[in-house]
Amino acid sequence: MVVMTNSAAVLADAAAYAAAVEEASVAAAAYYATGESGLDDDAYDRLARGIAAYEADHPEEVLAASPTGKVAGGAAVGDVPHTVPMLSLDNVFSAEQFATWTASLERRIGRPVTAWSVEPKLDGLAVAARYRDGRFERLITRGDGTAGEDVSHAAGAVVGLPERLAEPVTIEVRGEILMTNDQFDQGNAIRTEHGGAPFANPRNGAAGTLRAKDRAYRVETTFFAYGALPLPDSGELGETLAELPHSEVLSYVAGLGVHTAAGTDVAPVLAATVEEVQARVDAIGSLRAALPFGIDGIVIKADLAADQREAGSGTRAPRWAIAYKLPAVEKITRLVSVEWNVGRTGIIAPRAVLEPVEIDGSTVGYATLHNPADITRRDLRLGDQVMVYKAGDIIPRIEAPVVHLRTGDETPIDFPESCPQCGSAIDTSEQRWRCTRGRNCRLVASVSYAAGRDQLDIEGLGATRVVQLVDAGLVADFADLFTLERAQLLALDRMGETSTDNLLAAIETARTRPLSRVFCALGVRGTGRSMSRRIARYFATMDRIVAADVDTLQQVDGIGKEKAAAVVAELVELAPLIAKLVAAGVNMTEPGATPPPEPGTEEAAGADAEAGGDGGTGPTLPLAGMTVVVTGAMTGALEKLSRNQMNELIERAGGKSSSSVSKRTSLLVAGDKAGSKRTKAEDLGVRIAVPEEFAELVGAFLAAGENA
C-alpha cells in the first residue's frame, strides 16, 4: 500500500516498494525522453523520497531498477560520452534542511564556506554545448550522466547559444534549455496549427522540441549557461578555469556571448553566510510568479574552486552544490466541467472546474480559460487530465491537456449558443465572445463596479441598493446616479431620510472625483486603475481622450497598436454614457495634469510622450521620471491610504507606480514588514524611504489629494 503525504510516499511493505519503483521508473523514462510523464514534479519527488526512505530501512531489499542515487533516475541513455560526468543535484526543501547540508559540507572540507553562489534552478533540460576554436561543434543532453544524446540538429533554434564565441577558445558550456512563457505560447500555437497536440507545459515543450527532427515548423527555445569546463585540448584555458571561482566562470562565459541568468531579475549573486543565502532564496521565491520563464528552486554552490575540489562528488551529485526546491506550482488534475460566466461589460468568460488539488499552499478547484478559441486551440475535453499552473497570487491556469493520459472517455466541451446570463444572442466576431446587450446584460455589476472604492467610491451604494435602483427603473447606467432625486430615493424600501441624504452626499462627492477615477468607472476593456491614471494624466481632459485616434493613444505608456484600437472602439460605444456624465456635471479633468502640446508645434517636437510622467509640468513634480514601488504597512499620514490611493499619489507627483522591484526601480517606499521587496531593493542598491520620508517628499500632493 502506498500513502502519499505532503513530504513523501509512505510504503507499507515490499510489494508497495516494488510498485513504487516501477511507477518511478516509467515516469522518469517518459520525463527524460519527451517530458511527457504521468506524474508532475511534486508527485515524482514525493515518490522518490518514499523509495529512498524505504531503502534506508530495508537495505537488503533494494531493487536494481531503483532511481535512488542515479542521474536522471537511471532512465535516460545516450551514446556520446561526457568528458566529465554530468551529474544531477541533491535536494533540500526547507531552511532547516539547508542549514544541515551546509554544516555537513563544512565538516567535510574542514572549514567554513565563505562564498556561496545563489542562482535560479531553471526548469529545463540540462545540456552540454561544445565549442572548438570558438565555433559551435556539438550539443549533448545529460543522459545518464556518463553519456548523452546528440541533439546538435536543434541548436539553430536555441536562443542564447551562439554559432561563434567572442574568442576562439575550445570549451564546453553547460546549462539548461527551456521555453520561456512567450516561447511556450508561440510554440503551442505553431504546433496546433500543424495538427499536433499542445505541449503540457514549457518543460515538456522544450524536451519534445530538442529531440524532434524533420519538423515542418520551427519552435524556439532558450539556453541559460550555469557553468563551463575545459575540453581535453583546451590548453591553458583548462588550468585557468580549474582555479576560477564559479561566479567568475559564469562571468567569463557571458563575456564569450553565451546567455546566462545575469540579466534577469533572479541573477546569480554571491552570499557570505547561510543567512544571506536564505534571504536570497526568499527573494527569488517571491519573484517566481512574475518571471518570464519557469524555475522550480534555487541552486546554491560553494563558489571557490578549492572548496569544490575538497568536497568532491558522489555517483549522482556533487557534494558542494544543492538544489533548494520551492513549493510546486504545477500539478496534474482532472477537468470536471466548464462554467460560462458573463462579466460586467458583457464578456462571456469560460472557467474550468477542476478536481481539487493542492498547489503552492492552497487548494485549487477552478482555473482560468481565456476564451473559446483558447479551448479549441488547446484541444481541451471534459475528463482530461490537465496540467494546472499557479504561483503566488496568480490566478490558476490550465496550460494544456496531458494527452498521453487520455482513456477515450473524454468528451468535447459544449460552447453556449446564447448568453448564459440573459439569453440574448452572442457576438462571436472576436476571440472573446460578448453578449450583444453588452453592459446592459450585467447592469447591476457594471453600476456596482463604477461605484466601487477604487472608482467613484460612492459610500452606501452596495449591490443590493443598485438592484433596487435598477428594478425601480431609476438607473439604466451609472450616469443616472447623478440625476437621482431625494423623493425618488425616499420611495424605495428601507431608505429613510438619513440614509437618503447620506447617499446623495456621497454621489455629490463622486461628481468631483478626478478624471482618472471617472475613466476607470467606465470600465473600458483592456484598461484598469493604473492604465486609467496614465491615460488621464497624459490627456488631462475627457474630450481629448475621446478625440484621440489610434496613433495618439499609443503615446501612452503601455498601450500598443492593438490595445489602442480596442480603446478607440470602446470609447465610440461609450460616447452616449460619457455625454450623460458631462451633462450631469461630473468632473472631466485630471488635477495637476497638463494636456500634451498640439501636433506640429515646437512644444510637441520636444515633448516627452511618456505617460505616467509629469504630463508636461516639468521637473517641479517631486517624482518626475521615477518608478516607485510601495510595500509593507504604511504609517503616519499614509496610514489610511489604500494601495490604489498610494499609486494615485505617486502618479500625481509625476512618478510611475509599479508592483515589483527591478533595476528600473527608482524608489521603494518600505513600511512595516516590507519583506522580500526590501531585500531585493537592498541587493540592487535601490533608494529606500520609510513612509514618513515619502510623505514629506510628496507633502503638497498628499494634502491636495485628501478628497480625491
* CATH code for position 362: 2.40.50.140
Closest CA relative to residue 371, chosen from 352, 354, 387, 357: 352
Judgement on whether residues 289 and 174 belong to the same structural domain of the protein: yes
Closest CA relative to residue 513, chosen from 454, 562, 471: 454
Asked whether residue 52 is domain-assigned, the answer is: yes
Backbone angles phi, psi at 301, to 5 degrees: -130, 140
Domain span including residue 37: 2-74
Judgement on whether residues 85 and 201 belong to the same structural domain of the protein: yes
Measured CA distances, 398 to 43, 195, 364, 384, 625 (Å): 18, 20, 11, 11, 38
- The pTM of the full predicted model, rounded to 2 decimals, is 0.65
Per-residue pLDDT at 43: 75
Of 56, 74, 92, which residue is a domain's last? 74
E strand residue ranges, 506-651? 627-631
Task: Please give the distance of CA 344 from its chain centroid, rounded to a whole number.
Answer: 25
Judgement on whether residues 247 and 366 belong to the same structural domain of the protein: no
Q: Is 307 helix (H, G, I), strand (E, B) or coil?
A: helix
> Got the DSSP string for 328-369?
P-EEEEEEEEEEEEE-TTSBEEEEEEEEEEEETTEEEEEEE-
Cell triple for 36: 511527457
Cell triple for 486: 431625494
Judgement on whether residues 405 and 443 belong to the same structural domain of the protein: no
Cβ-Cβ contacts under 8 Å for 427 (sequence gap 6 or more): 433, 434, 435, 436
Asked whether residue 694 is domain-assigned, the answer is: yes
Of 290, 325, 360, which residue is a domain's last? 325
Cβ-Cβ contacts under 8 Å for 448 (sequence gap 6 or more): 344, 461, 462, 463, 466
**Mean pLDDT of successive 10-residue segments in the chain (708 residues)?**
55 82 76 62 77 85 78 64 92 93 96 96 94 95 89 94 95 96 90 83 87 86 96 86 94 96 93 94 88 94 96 92 90 94 90 90 87 88 92 79 87 95 92 90 92 92 92 93 94 92 96 94 88 91 94 90 90 94 95 72 47 44 88 88 85 83 90 84 90 88 58
Judgement on whether residues 93 and 233 belong to the same structural domain of the protein: yes
Q: What is the rounded CA–CA span in Å between residue 697 and residue 637? A: 12
Asked whether residue 197 is domain-assigned, the answer is: yes
Q: What is the rounded CA–CA span in Å between residue 659 and residue 653? A: 17
Q: Is 220 helix (H, G, I), strand (E, B) or coil?
A: coil
Per-residue pLDDT at 182: 92
Look up 331 and say whether it is catalytic.
Answer: no
Per-residue pLDDT at 320: 97
Q: For the chain, give the number of residues.
A: 708
Q: Where are the alpha helices (DSSP H) in 160-301?
A: 181-193, 202-211, 236-243, 246-255, 274-287
Give the torsion sign (CA, 366, 355, 387, 51). Answer: positive
Closest CA relative to residue 92, chosen from 277, 298, 311: 298
Judgement on whether residues 213 and 342 belong to the same structural domain of the protein: no
Asked whether residue 116 is domain-assigned, the answer is: yes
> Got the DSSP string for 667-707?
EEEE-BT-THHHHHHHHHT-EEE-HHHHHHHTHHHHHHTTT
The total of other beta-carbon atoms located within 10 Å of residue 51's CB is 24
Q: Is 559 helix (H, G, I), strand (E, B) or coil?
A: coil
User: Which residue shows C-alpha cell 481541451?
Assistant: 380
Q: What is the rounded CA–CA span in Å between residue 435 and residue 355? A: 29
Provide the b/e sequence for 587-597 (b: ≥16 CB within 10 Å).
bbbbbbbeebe
Per-residue pLDDT at 605: 46
Of 325, 352, 371, which residue is a domain's last? 325
Q: What is the rounded CA–CA span in Å between residue 238 and residue 236? A: 5
Provide the b/e sequence for 121-133 (b: ≥16 CB within 10 Å).
bbbbbbbbbbbbe
Backbone angles phi, psi at 218, to 5 degrees: -120, 130
Asked whether residue 577 is domain-assigned, the answer is: no
Asked whether residue 687 is domain-assigned, the answer is: yes
Q: Which long-range contacts (CB under 8 A, 24 or more apart) does 229-234 make?
A: 229/83, 229/84, 229/171, 229/172, 229/174, 230/170, 230/171, 230/172, 231/83, 231/130, 231/132, 231/170, 231/171, 231/172, 232/83, 233/170, 234/169, 234/170, 234/171
Residue type, 131: Y
Is residue 387 within 8 Å of 398, Cβ to Cβ?
Answer: yes
Cell triple for 700: 503638497
pLDDT more than 70, % of the chain: 91
Cβ-Cβ contacts under 8 Å for 230 (sequence gap 6 or more): 170, 171, 172, 237, 238, 241, 242
Cell triple for 388: 494546472
CATH number at residue 252: 3.30.470.30
Number of domains present in the structure of the chain: 5
Q: What is the rounded CA–CA span in Å between residue 25 and residue 31? A: 10
Q: What is the rounded CA–CA span in Å between residue 183 and residue 293? A: 9
CATH number at residue 499: 1.10.150.20
Cell triple for 632: 509593507
Catalytic residue among 70, 121, 213, 640: 121
Provide the b/e sequence for 486-511 (b: ≥16 CB within 10 Å).
eeebeeeeebeeeebeebbebbeebe
Judgement on whether residues 289 and 223 belong to the same structural domain of the protein: yes
Asked whether residue 608 is domain-assigned, the answer is: no
Judgement on whether residues 130 and 215 belong to the same structural domain of the protein: yes
Per-residue pLDDT at 36: 60
Judgement on whether residues 211 and 119 belong to the same structural domain of the protein: yes
Backbone angles phi, psi at 647, to 5 degrees: -65, -40
Backbone angles phi, psi at 321, to 5 degrees: -140, 150
3-class SS shares of the chain: helix, strand, coil, % to 5: 40, 20, 40
CATH number at residue 627: 3.40.50.10190
Closest CA relative to residue 167, chosen from 129, 135, 139: 135
Judgement on whether residues 137 and 285 belong to the same structural domain of the protein: yes
Judgement on whether residues 253 and 154 belong to the same structural domain of the protein: yes
Judgement on whether residues 290 and 336 belong to the same structural domain of the protein: no
Specify whether the backbone of 625 is left (phi greater than 0), alpha (psi in -120 to 50) or beta. left
Asked whether residue 237 is domain-assigned, the answer is: yes
